[in-house]
Amino acid sequence: MEYTHKPIMLNECLEALNIKNGSTVIDCTLGLGGHSEAILKIISPDGRLIGIDRDTNAIEFATERLSKTGTNFSTVHDVFFNIEEIAQRENAIGTDAILADLGVSSYQLDDKTRGFSYMEDYELDMRMDKSQTKSAKEVVNKYSADQLTKVIRDYGEERWAKRIAQFIVQYRQENGSVETTGQLTKIIKAAIPAAARRDGPHPAKRTFQAIRIEVNDELEPLKNALFSMMNVLKPEGRLAVITFHSLEDRIVKQSFRSMVDPCICDRRAPICTCGKKPTGRLITRKPITPSEAELEDNPRARSAKLRVIEKLK
């Protein structure tokens, strides 16, 4: 596989992780190994890198890439939601730093056969892990109108969710099923009034995002996973998370805030009686965003936000 990978906010991530030779680092979203390659160069020869990804193709590519830099790494085919179990198996409880880039890998978007893109006409799929059974085709063709409305509204923040769901169900009734990304895109365009299609992003963008999130269960386990990452870190270890849409960023922001200030007492009470203690301190009070130079080189980074927290002693 030939691919040029541009890791998002690479220098910012490396600085945020605060790593050095000898550090142990977990990359929760290995992808094609762009971040991991740079991390491995810093922590070698005495450090250790563990890369996690749900996509076996990504693991194969990244393994070949990283092996040119060093041998002090291991890769794990799993979802990072299971990070505590993974860290136990890898003897990595008390790691120095954790990175999670929550975006879809560019190569997955560019591989038209994976069915992520609304710009081409290929079979509906959208699975990050090809071994899983649920695909976009199942969601689009088997969910009821109410289920589709909820997915598109909640995960896509799409104002026309109900109408799009109705048009999908109507298409199924008339044609049997929706088979390709092109068919789905045409349905979405037909459902959204022309005036609403003129402004803003591509009319199918929000719905495709919503279906992808549903297929890969990207949001529901995220909050628990963030707390699990903190459990895996050693004191003064750092967690850096890159998000790409408001739903992810809201979860990360709120979770970090609760780690810094977990008290649930009435704010009018003179003292805290709940006993909940802070577990982290914010390194970034506002998210770090890509520089203009990076955006010129990589427009896909435009919506990225980096938030960093450090585990307290």
pLDDT at position 105 over 60: yes
Tokens of 139: 């969601």
Single-letter code of the amino acid located at 272: C
Rounded distance between C-alpha atoms, residue 242 and residue 231, angstroms = 19
pLDDT band at 171 (very low <50, low <70, confident <90, very high): very high
The type of residue at 223 is K
What average pLDDT does the segment 257-273 reach?
89
Give the pLDDT score at 4: 56
**What mean pLDDT do residues 106-129 have?**
84
Domain ranges, ordered by start, for the chain: 10-102+219-311, 113-216
Specify the 3-state DSSP secondary structure of 125: coil
More confident residue, 199 or 192: 192
Helices 34-43 and 10-17 pack at an angle, to 10 degrees, of 40
Mean pLDDT across the chain? 94
Percent of the chain with pLDDT strictly greater than 90: 83
β-sheet with 24-27: strand ranges across: 73-77, 48-53, 24-27, 95-101, 233-243, 305-311, 280-282
Residues 43-59 have a mean pLDDT of 95
Query: Into which CATH architecture does domain 10-102+219-311 fall?
Result: 3-Layer(aba) Sandwich (3.40)
User: By mean pLDDT, which of 104-118, 129-143, 215-229, 246-260 is the weakest?
Assistant: 104-118
Q: Which residue has the tokens 């892990």?
A: 129
What local confidence, expressed as pLDDT, does residue 5 receive? 65
**What mean pLDDT comes out for the span 135-147?**
97
First to last CA, the chain: 44
pLDDT of 1 > 60? The answer is no
Classify domain 113-216 at the CATH topology level.
DNA polymerase; domain 1 (1.10.150)
Instruction: Say which residue the tokens 């050095």 belong to.
Output: 20
Rounded Cα distance between 39 and 11, Å, is: 10
Give the pLDDT band (50/70/90) at residue 218. Answer: very high
- Find tokens 């094609």 and name the residue: 32
Two tokens, residue 252: 């990360």
